[in-house]
């Protein structure tokens, strides 16, 4: 999944980036509202972390723009302590959650996990799929008691396909959300095919993985029924 971090405090944005990368997210940073407003109309994100106190932009105005630009992203607003009004306004406008500074990174992580579960209608963090158990919080896959040895990106692919099960995801969508938003020229669709092939091969060592379908001319789908 990819995250846009809109935050003007350099130390904090760096800290968020390092932490989220370790958690398997692909991160982009925007230090100003202007930079952010350019990105949101061009790229697509799974999460947007939005600091309401930006130097050049009214945070709530930017939030409005975020919702105009994307319906897909989950938004967590970051506020300075004591700005209750903005927090409430932000939630009323449709933000998924908020964190008051200073917050712990583990709290951010658990809020993000909760949003993912809510968004995809999951009750637990372990998804049983076709004999496999996908643990979305701990980023592991098991077949019965045995851990399936996937690379980070293979896990991300599986996770993304399964969360959006029964929907066709294009190669470009998968690339953007798992490797990050690239320039058009850098996009090579074969790249995804190779990773899918490896993923299928690893899963097939335990159980059929033909439910990861290739949809000709379009992309891939986790056909779970």
Residues in contact with Ca ion by CB under 5 A are: 8, 51, 53
Find the shortest distance in angstroms from Cβ 64 to Ca ion. 18
Closer of 7 and 156 to Ca ion (Cβ):
7
Q: How far is it, in rounded angstroms, from Cα 180 to Cα 23?
A: 15
Nearest residue relative to Ca ion (C-beta): 53
Q: How far is it, in rounded angstroms, from Cα 92 to Cα 86?
A: 10
Closer of 20 and 30 to Ca ion (Cβ):
30
Find the shortest distance in angstroms from Cβ 19 to Ca ion. 18
Q: How far apart are the first and last CA of the chain?
A: 23
Sequence-separated (6 or more) residues with CB below 8 Å from residue 182 = 175, 176
Tell me how far the alpha carbon of residue 216 is from its chain's centroid: 25
Closer of 28 and 154 to Ca ion (Cβ):
28
* Cβ 162 vs Cβ 129: under 8 Å: yes
What DSSP state is assigned to residue 185?
G
Both tokens of 218, joined, read: 């379009």
Find the shortest distance in angstroms from Cβ 58 to Ca ion. 12
Closer of 8 and 137 to Ca ion (Cβ):
8
Strands 169-170 and 146-148: unpaired
Find the shortest distance in angstroms from Cβ 7 to Ca ion. 6
Query: Count H helices, E strands: the chain?
Result: 8, 12
Find the shortest distance in angstroms from Cβ 30 to Ca ion. 12
Closer of 59 and 219 to Ca ion (Cβ):
59
């Amino acid at each position: 999944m990819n995250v846009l971090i809109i935050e003007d405090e350099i130390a904090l944005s760096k800290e968020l980036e390092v932490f989220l990368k370790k958690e398997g997210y692909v991160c982009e940073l925007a230090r100003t509202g202007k930079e952010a407003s350019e990105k949101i109309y061009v790229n697509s994100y799974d999460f947007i972390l939005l600091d309401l106190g930006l130097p050049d932009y009214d945070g709530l105005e930017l939030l409005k723009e975020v919702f105009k630009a994307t319906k897909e992203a989950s938004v967590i607003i970051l506020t300075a302590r004591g700005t209750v009004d903005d927090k409430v306004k932000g939630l009323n406008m449709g933000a998924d959650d908020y964190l008051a500074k200073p917050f712990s990174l583990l709290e951010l992580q658990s809020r993000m996990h909760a949003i993912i579960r809510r968004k995809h209608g999951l009750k637990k963090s372990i998804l049983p799929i076709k004999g496999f158990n996908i643990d979305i919080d701990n980023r592991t896959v098991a077949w019965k008691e045995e851990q399936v040895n996937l690379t980070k990106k293979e896990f991300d692919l599986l996770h993304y396909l399964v969360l959006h099960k029964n929907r066709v995801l294009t190669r470009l969508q998968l690339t953007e959300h798992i490797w990050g938003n690239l320039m058009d020229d850098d996009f090579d669709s074969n790249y995804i095919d190779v990773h899918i092939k490896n993923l299928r091969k690893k899963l097939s060592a335990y159980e059929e993985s033909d439910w990861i379908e290739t949809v000709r001319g379009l992309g891939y789908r986790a056909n779970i029924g």
